[in-house]
Structures are given as C-alpha cells and as structure tokens.
Amino acid sequence: MVLAVFAGLPGVGKSTLARQVGAALPAAVLGVDAVDAALRVYDVSEPRPGHAAYGVVAALAETQLTLGLSVIIDAVNPVAATRRMWTELAERLDVPLRVVEVVCGDEDVLRRRRSSRGETGGGPVEYEPYLGPRIVVDTHLAVDPVLPVVEYLRK
C-alpha cells in the first residue's frame, strides 16, 4: 500500500500517467480537478478557489488508505501547503508517501496540450520547486514511463 502524489503544472501529462499507473498497480486515482469541476457544477463557492477540492480528495484518500488500498493523488500540488497535506496524511496513517513529479520538457508540446484542452494560459501557475525524494518523469522524453514509476511506488 502506498500514497502516491503526482504533481506538476497543468498539461504535463499527470492525469494520463496517473491513470496508467493506477491500472498497473492497482490503485485508486483521485483527481483534484475532477472534484473541483463537480463542486463548480453544484455552485459550491469558496474564498480560496480549489482549496475545498484538495480537502475532499484528502478525505477520500484517507478512506481508501484505511481500507488497505493504494491511492494516487492527481493534482498540480503547486505549493508547500498542499504538499504538506499529503505528508501529514501519510504520517498519520503510517503509509509510505511517494512523489511523482511530472514535467513536459518541450514548451511547444506543452502549449499544444493546454490549447487542445481549451486552456488559454490565463497567467502563470505558482509552482514552487519540489524538494526531497521523488521521481521526475518527463512525458515528452519518456518512451514508457509506467514501469519505472510502478517500481518506484512499490519500493
């Protein structure tokens, strides 16, 4: 059992990789974007947009982990505060935490991906550099990143 956190800027390929790894492990894949979209459909507003979605995903992850299931968190995880949530959850439940930082090393590819999803790039996303143990996957360069990520998560 593992709590895996997939982090990286929008459009780098986190969700695609998370789903592939989730199927291979197996693990529940919990996406913050999906929860955030559902909250918007039901007109849930909050003073700090996106914050509630992280809280909901953390609660769902805790339920799955207490059942003995592995969980993959699919989220930008841009700053220390959101990252701390996962660290505290893993420590509280005494489960290993593994970080998979996903990047796309080709700016043109990244721009096309964001454009195909209807993202206009409405300003830069604050993203603090990740410090500490992690595996970094460049989705532009990696031929088949699933196996190395699965091996990392099973350590």
CATH of the domain at 93: 3.40.50.300
Q: Is the pLDDT of residue 49 over 80?
A: no
- Residues 61-73: what's their mean pLDDT? 98
Q: Give residues with Cβ within 8 angstroms of 60, minimum separation 6.
A: 28, 30
Residue 19 domain boundaries: 3-154
Q: What is the band of 114 on the pLDDT scale with cuts at 50, 70, 90?
A: confident
CB neighbours of 43 closer than 8 A, spacing ≥ 6? none
Q: How many domains does the chain have?
A: 1
pLDDT at 123: 55
- pLDDT average, residue stretch 45-50: 78
The yes-or-no verdict on residue 116 having pLDDT over 80 is yes
pLDDT at 115: 84
Distance CA 58, CA 14 (A): 18
